[in-house]
Structure formats: C-alpha cells, structure tokens
Structure 1
Amino acid sequence: MSSRRNFIRQSALVAGGSMFASAFQNEAFGLFKQPGSPANRVNIGAIGINGMGWSNIKAALKVPDVAITALCDVDRQVIDKRLAELADMKIDTSGIRCYTDYRQLLDQKEVDAVIIGTPDHWHALQMIHACQAGKDVYVEKPVGNSITECRVMVAAQQKYGRIVQAGQWQRSQQHFGDAIRFVHSGQLGNIRTVKSWCYLDWKQPLEKKPDSPVPPGVDYKLWLGPASDRPFNINRFHFTFRWFWDYAGGLMTDWGVHLLDYALMGMKADTPRSIASLGGKFAKPDSADETPDTLMALYEFENFNLIWDHAIGIGNGNYGKDHGIAFIGNNGTLVLNRGGWEVLEEKKNSSKVVVPFSKSSDNGLDKHWINFIGAVRSRKSEDLNCPIEAGASIATLAQMGNIAYRSGRKLEWDRAAGRFRDNEINKKYLSASYHNGYALPKI
C-alpha cells in the first residue's frame, strides 16, 4: 500500500518470524469456531505490551483463530519478559517478529489488526498510521490525549474505513448494560444529579526522584515521540507516566473515561453546557506528580448535573465504594461499579423500586475482544460495543474537566463549533503540542 511509505522508517529488527496459534481454547468463545484456515485467521500485532497491551494480548488469544504475529515495545526487557511468559503458556514463540519501532510492525503485511497499548500521548499517531497502513485497531483508552486528537482519530477511521474499537471494556460487561436499562426504565424518577468517582488507595503520590541514565535496552527517543524532550526520569516511565501532562491526564482520563462513559450513557447525554473544576495536590503538595491527586469537576447539562470526584491515596469513596457511578433520582439512587449494581430507595417513595445487589458475573475484557474480532470479520463498525466515535466523545469530556482545572476558569462549550467559547482557552488547550519532528496528520 502506497500510503505506508509516508511513515515507515528503518529501525532495529529484534527478531524474525511469523504467526503462532493461540494455546487458549475456551467454550465461551465457541461462536467463533470456524474451519481453521489462513483466510479466517486474524493476525494481531501488539504495540506497547507492558500493561494493558499485555492484558489485551491474553484476551485476544482466547478467541479461536486469532494469532499474534508481532510484538513491539521500546523496552527490550519488556519484550523479553513477554516472550518468556508466552513460552510458559506453552506457546511457540519462535515465529513472533519483534520490533522497537511500531512503524516497522505496520509494514508487516501479515498483520491484520493492531493493539495500541502505549502511553496516551502516542495513541493518536499510532491509530492514524495503523489505519493508513490498512490495519484494524484496538486502541486503549483514553483514545486521545487532546480534544483535537480525538476529532482527527474519528476522521481517520471514517476516511480509511477500518474497524476501530476503543478499549473501554465495561461496555461489553453484562451488569453495566443491565443497570443502564434500569436507569432508562424511568423507575428512579427524574434524575437530577449523577456522581462518578474514583478513590485510588492502592496508589500513593510519587516521591521525587532524580533524573538518571536511560535503562539498557530502552529506546527513549521513541518512547518520547511527540512529547517534550526531557532527561530520563523513572517517575515518567511505564505506569506512572499517567501523572504527567506531557503524556496523559491523570486519574481523570485514566479512570474517568470508564466511569463518565456510563454516566452519559445512562442520561443519554452528549456534551455539557459548561465545566468547572477544583482540585490540586492536596495529599502531598511536594510530590513529583503534575496532575492533581484530588479533583472535583462539575459538568452542567440541560436537565441534570454531572459530578466527577477523584482522590489518590485514599479509598473511602461514595456509598462505601472506591469507584462507581450513582444516578440520583426522585424515587431512588442506582449505584453501579465493576462489582455490580443496586438501587437505594428514597424513604418517602411509594413506588417501591428497591432492587437487591446484582453482582458482576462475566469478564468484560474477554467479551470486548469477542466483539472486536466479530466486527473485524463482519466488516461492520456498527457491531462494535465501543467504536472510536464513542471513545473520542468520552475522552473529550474528560479533557474538558482537566482543561477547566488547568485554566482555573469556568468554561462554556460551543456544541455546534466543537470548541470552547473562550478562544484563549482553545489556543492553549484544545490541541496537544507536538515535538521532535512529529505532527498530527491532517485528515
């Protein structure tokens, strides 16, 4: 494909090979069992395999006739670790091609679809380049690291006609859907407030650490990519990149996209009229984190208010739950999280809408991958549980909350124009700054 030549560059080829078959066969995925043939097989290349990228590989391998043909990571130690773990699963790893530069992986003709599990600041470029290379894409959330990136990612999917699923796997989990159907039934009465929250007690603010040499086997220039050129610091690497504005948006974009997503689904809402946010580094003001450890954002909609509330380092969240969504209606409140959902009736309500706790009973990530591979085979984007449009919409909402916090202003959103009514804010925050010779493609 001629479009590949626009971005494929030379990089170190770590190992050669071809596909290998999944060692997982699960009756839950029997609906995909078709005659095993090269024409039916979906070959996956994974870009960024340290965290959710690895979780996605394991979920993908549970779907029959799905194979991993390539792995890519800028950290050679991570590649070696994953190859060893795959070998422990009794999978023949001799045929897996490994790369440090994702663009070389995209040039591998055998790859049908790619996983993008890299830090957030890479998602847009890699998803767009993958579509240009004729690949379908499973992109981790948040899909974009700016509002403009989200918009261009949607345009790229539409232009190149690829199947693109956002990694918001809760959309494939049964009890989340059941809860939203109950919200839509009207039994809660008028819903005036929706609360979404995440209290992350298993993670503490970062201790400051000095800059250090780049670890052996890491291509740090490729890790930085379009982000600002800075000395290597372990706090900014791997998991904890989330707490720095160069690469991500903190807890708001990490967990917020999951929970706010269902808040909007329950209310059948789109974009807010206005956004205001308050917060800061209150838990430990001298921590290394840039993003706030404590944040509350208020989104104004036509008939209800939406509240986002997060805290790092403590776990006593609303309703005794460390994360969740609460739909607060005249007759009762529905409380939903990854563990299940229940309805708390208003004491003076005569409608009797009490619903006992309904526990989660399935694996959302596995089902999300069934859904993605099904759409890859059907070539119908409308079959996806979380198409790129949905992922971009909720990532945009999370970005709005962060921009309100960073600017210190109450912001009004112009729905028709797709931008804030304050041009100064648009110039400063609507798009991410690209560095090191990278640029967001014009689609």
Structure 2
Amino acid sequence: LIQVAPVEVVALCDVDKKQLNAAATLVSQRQKSRKTPRLYNNYRKLLSENKLDIVLIGTPYHWHALQTIAALKAGAHVYVQKPISVDIMEGEAMLAAARKYNRVVQVGTQRRSTPHLMEAKKNIMDAGLLGKISHVEMYCYYHMRNNSNVADKVVPDYLDYDMWTGPAPMRPYDGIPWRAFMEYGNGIVGDMCIHMFDAVRWMLDLGWPKRVSSTGGIYVQKEAKSNISDTQTATFEYDDLNCVWQHRTWGTPVNPDYPWAFTIYGEKGTLMGSVNQYDFIPEGKGEKLHADVVLEKEQYPEDVTEAGIEIHSAPATRQHMRDFLAAIKKGGRPVADIEQGHISTASCILANMSMKLGRPLVYDHQKRQITNDPEANALLQRPYRKPWVHPQPDMV
C-alpha cells in the first residue's frame, strides 16, 4: 500500500513481539515521514486509541471475522486476506457488517488484479474465443502440507499464545505452522482452491454454486500431526457446468508448467491460467496465445530484495490495493468485494463439510442454511473458545 499511495501507517498490531518490531522497522524505513508506528499486541486497543481510515488484516484465518467486524464498527475500510472466515456464519456476519456500516472491504483474492489474467479475461474470455464453456478444472500439486511430528514446546516469551489462539481451540504449543491444522483454517482447499475458484468465478461471472460435493482425506502422509487433507477432490456445480478442484500434496503434477492453476474448457478452445502465465489453445487451426507474468522489478527494485516476497504476485497485490483505494474514493464496490470473498470462501468450506459428512450440500444463502440437512447446519457456526463470542449477521 505504501508503494502505491501516500499513506501514513500510524499503528501496527501483532501478538509476536519479534514480528511486531521487525514490521515497525520496515515501515519506518519505507514511509515518507520515517515515523515509527505505535505498537500494540491487542487489536481492540489499537482500534480504540486511533482514528483509522484503513485497516489491513493479515492475521491467521481464525481471527479474520472478529477483527474485520471490529474495524468496520470503528469506521475503517478493510483489506482482509483470504479466506475471509473459518466457518460460513462468520462470513455472513462480515458481509452484514460491511453493508451496515457502509465501508469498503477488499478481499485478498488478487488473481482478479493479476495483469496477465486480466488480459486473458478481456481478450479471450470476454471476447468469446472459448465459446460455450461446460467444464472447468482447478488444481494444486504443491508439496505444501507440513508433515512434521514434533514434541510440544515451551511458548516463547515474545509470543502471547493465548491471544494468538483467541477464539480457536487451545492446542499445545509445538511451533508447527498453523496452516497445518483445521482449528485455524480450511486446509488446502481454503488456502489454494479459493484463489483459483475465485478467479474462475470472476472470469465466468459465476455466483453461488447450486451444489457442492467433495471426497478426500489423509491418504498418504499419515505420520504428521497435521489434520488437513493431503488428497481432495471437490465439485462446484452450476447449470450445465461443473468446476472441479483437485489437490495432492504428494506425487507429481499433471502438467509441470501448471502445478497450481485452472483450465477452462470451451467448445472453441481451452484456457489455462496460473500466477505465472496463461495459454489459450484453440480448437482447429486458430492462433495459440501465450503471456507470462508481468514483473515490475525496474519500477519497484525493492521487490528484488524484499525478504519472503512472492515477486510474481507483487504487481497483482499493488493493483489490488489501487482498486481498493479507488472504491473508497468513488464509493463503489472493489473488484474483490466482501460478498465475492464470502461466496468463494463459503463454497470451499462447504467442500470440506461435504467431505466430512460424506454427501453433497446445497446452501441457501438467502436463508443462511443448508437445505434439508440439520446435521450440516450445525456445522455452519463453530464453537468459540471463551470469552470470545461468535458474531451473528443480525447482531453486528
């Protein structure tokens, strides 16, 4: 955000003192005023002591709902990372709060702002080069599941582990990255499927799926503490169209050039897209089209030396921030509005629920319930650890 707008970062919050101090140093070096932001370990205190225009939320997923709603109540516009929530009712409450307080919420599904995918949407999808589309495949074959099985550890003195855990169940501290556990997120479907499914919905102008089904589990990597699936297939059904997801955290990718991507099949051709490139393959003798990711290393040389940066995603994130700011200025909806983030997040959660229950699910978003399935409806809202209180869409 600092790269694309003259913003002043006035406050930072983290329950990890090391992370907090490192972030403060970086911000003071980057922003024009060279001021060090005020530092907090409790987001509620930060919001009560500062009048903020914008709040950026990059916390673990189990915190997104409470922090987003609190920021909206405080009058701020919000940029929140994906997935927006761990359960569906959290997402409903976040959407209700954004509309009630008339604030802009941009979700970090930045494939919608990825330059080469924006080009593919305009020149291929919107131009009708694929013809009628009746099948989509989405997939991830990264070996990204944590397969360690370490002993519990003493909580380091720089980490407030109780506050880090917040509304989630209290697990013994072991230092294993939190994405390995369903207590804090939605597994690889919530991490990776959401990006590709959201990109496909954007490209094809799709809303809520009519039905969601999924199978999978821990088939191979059984030795780990992690409780997220290592193998999973999910189907998101629309009229005359299925969008099918698959991930494996073992084995080889189907296409080494597209290990995490989508493939859209039309009667006139096929479009493959990823964070790195796209390829259009026409039916018959038409012209093949290819484009690579747009990097901005000359314009933003700090991209090259930034620790831990995904340099291929930096231009998309900057464009996503510009779109966020434009929506605030104009009073409209951003490209990844909270409603779109909710649909993509909730659909992925439904896939995990379907895998757990062993049957397809139909979600009625107007009634906020799953049709004819009391057992599934009981999973729409997970229990919060006391004293935290689960938000309700009618009471935000």
Alignment TM-score, normalising by the size of structure 2: 0.88
Partner residue in 1 for 2:191: 254
**Residue 287 of structure 2, aligned match among 354, 357, 360:** 354
Structure 1 residues 401-431: Cα deviation after superposition (integer angstroms, max 9, x where no partner): 1111122222233455343224333333211
**Residue 249 of structure 2, aligned match among 293, 312, 335:** 312
Partner residue in 1 for 2:226: 289
Matches within 5 A, 1:364-375: 364-375=316-327
Specify the code of the residue in structure 1 equivalent to 2:388.
Answer: Y
Q: Does the residue aligned with 1:79 lie in a helix, a strand or coil?
A: helix
Structure 1 residues 294-313: Cα deviation after superposition (integer angstroms, max 9, x where no partner): 11111222111110111224
Q: Does the residue aligned with 2:325 lie in a helix, a strand or coil?
A: helix
Moved more, 417-426 or 250-259: 417-426
Does structure 1 conserve the Cα–Cα contact (< 8 Å) formed by 2:28 and 2:37?
Answer: no
Structure 1 residues 350-391: Cα deviation after superposition (integer angstroms, max 9, x where no partner): xx443321222251001111222233333x132x12111111
CA distance in 1, matches of 2:183, 2:256: 34
- Going from structure 1 to structure 2, the CA distance change for 1:197 and 1:82 (only over 3 Å counts) comes to same
Does structure 1 conserve the Cα–Cα contact (< 8 Å) formed by 2:12 and 2:24?
Answer: no
CA displacement at 1:160 relative to structure 2? 0.8
Partner residue in 1 for 2:377: 427
CA distance in 1, matches of 2:53, 2:265: 44
Does structure 1 conserve the Cα–Cα contact (< 8 Å) formed by 2:25 and 2:36?
Answer: no
Question: Which has more radius of gyration?
Answer: 1
Sequence identity of aligned pairs in percent? 29
Correspondence 1:188 to 2:134:
no
CA displacement at 1:73 relative to structure 2? 0.3
Specify the code of the residue in structure 1 equivalent to 2:240.
Answer: N
Correspondence 1:211 to 2:170:
no
CA displacement at 1:136 relative to structure 2? 1.2
Does structure 2 conserve the Cα–Cα contact (< 8 Å) formed by 1:317 and 1:323?
Answer: no
Specify the code of the residue in structure 2 equivalent to 1:199.
Answer: Y
- Going from structure 1 to structure 2, the CA distance change for 1:76 and 1:415 (only over 3 Å counts) comes to closer
- Going from structure 1 to structure 2, the CA distance change for 1:110 and 1:132 (only over 3 Å counts) comes to closer
Partner residue in 2 for 1:381: 332
**Residue 99 of structure 1, aligned match among 40, 46, 54:** 40
Correspondence 1:326 to 2:263:
yes
Specify the code of the residue in structure 2 equivalent to 1:271.
Answer: W
- Going from structure 1 to structure 2, the CA distance change for 1:409 and 1:65 (only over 3 Å counts) comes to same
Partner residue in 1 for 2:87: 146
Specify the code of the residue in structure 1 equivalent to 2:132.
Answer: N
Specify the code of the residue in structure 2 equivalent to 1:171.
Answer: R
Gaps of 5+ in 1: 1-59
Specify the code of the residue in structure 2 equivalent to 1:107.
Answer: S
Question: How many corresponding residue pairs?
Answer: 373
Partner residue in 2 for 1:438: 388
Matches within 5 A, 1:20-419: 60-86=1-27, 95-181=36-122, 182-201=124-143, 203-235=144-176, 240-314=177-251, 316-318=253-255, 320-346=257-283, 349=284, 352-361=285-294, 363-378=315-330, 380-382=331-333, 384-414=334-364, 416-419=366-369
Structure 1 residues 156-188: Cα deviation after superposition (integer angstroms, max 9, x where no partner): 011111121111122122221222232233322
Structure 1 residues 137-158: Cα deviation after superposition (integer angstroms, max 9, x where no partner): 1111111111111111110011
- Going from structure 1 to structure 2, the CA distance change for 1:432 and 1:318 (only over 3 Å counts) comes to farther
CA distance in 1, matches of 2:252, 2:34: 41
CA displacement at 1:94 relative to structure 2? 5.2
Q: Does the residue aligned with 2:141 lie in a helix, a strand or coil?
A: strand
Partner residue in 2 for 1:18: none
CA distance in 2, matches of 1:177, 1:89: 29
Structure 1 residues 270-309: Cα deviation after superposition (integer angstroms, max 9, x where no partner): 2222222121222311211111011111122211111011
The structure showing larger relative contact order (alpha-carbon pairs under 8 Å, at least 6 residues apart) is 2
- Going from structure 1 to structure 2, the CA distance change for 1:414 and 1:113 (only over 3 Å counts) comes to closer
Does structure 2 conserve the Cα–Cα contact (< 8 Å) formed by 1:227 and 1:436?
Answer: no
